[in-house]
Amino acid sequence: MLCEDMMQEHLGIKDEDSPKARTKVFNEYYYYSGISEYNSKNQICSYATAFSFGSFIARNFGGAELVQKISKNSLVDNDSITDAVNSLNGTKYTYDDLFEKYLLALFGDSTYTHNKDADCTLEYNSGDYSSNPYEYPMTAYNIFDSEYSFSANGKKYYGPAIFYANAKSVDLRPENGILIHGIGTFSSSSLSVSFSSGTSAEKIYLIIK
């Protein structure tokens, strides 16, 4: 999907016909599939979650050149992604570091976001592009736009679904599954939050917006 993403302009594909169109499914049903999971019962959700993470990584850490490094290094899976990001950006991120930044994007962070163009550092300058090189653009898109909104219980929602205390019970998916829970709002200078015990494989991120 990232290859289709970076070739979108060359192929003449509109956003609504590109992998970006999977964002509506991601926003409404991301919790049905982990990022690196292929859920045979919810393949559409697996495609949506995989593209959401991949497109975020590309737009924030190197665009098509990052995709090239991922495809050429000697590693696989999360190690391949992390190695490519670090070798291209001169960083020492772990996969968990990248995952945390991705979660910020799901809350509308302005620094780490899908809503910016990826760097265009690669060029294709042969054939029809000899005088005007193709730069593999991976353009910005806002996951909170109305075109990616969804309706539930008679209301319209923008961005990834947020579960509250009275929400239905949903199991956390394996292979980097996500569940976003809303605690509420507060106006005092301090707040105490308590969590019950979980498994060692689970991580809880507390984001204050």
Q: Which residue ranges make up each domain of the chain?
A: 2-157
How high is the pLDDT of residue 196? Answer: 75
Q: Based on the number of CB atoms within 10 Å of its own CB, is 105 exposed (0-12), middle (13-18) or buried (19 or more)?
A: buried
Our CA angle for 116, 54, 84, nearest 5°, is 95
Task: Supply the mean pLDDT for the chain.
Answer: 93
pTM of the entire structure? 0.93
Cα–Cα dist 155/157, whole Å: 7
Please say whether the beta carbons of 8 and 140 come within 8 A: no
pLDDT of res. 207: 87
Does the pLDDT of residue 167 top 70, yes or no? no
- Condensed to tens digits (0 to 9), the pLDDT of residues 75-118 reads 999 999 999 999 999 999 999 999 999 999 999 999 999 999 99
pLDDT tens digits, one per residue of 135-153: 999 999 999 999 999 998 8
Q: Is the pLDDT of residue 52 over 90?
A: yes
Side chain identity at 202, as an amino acid letter? E
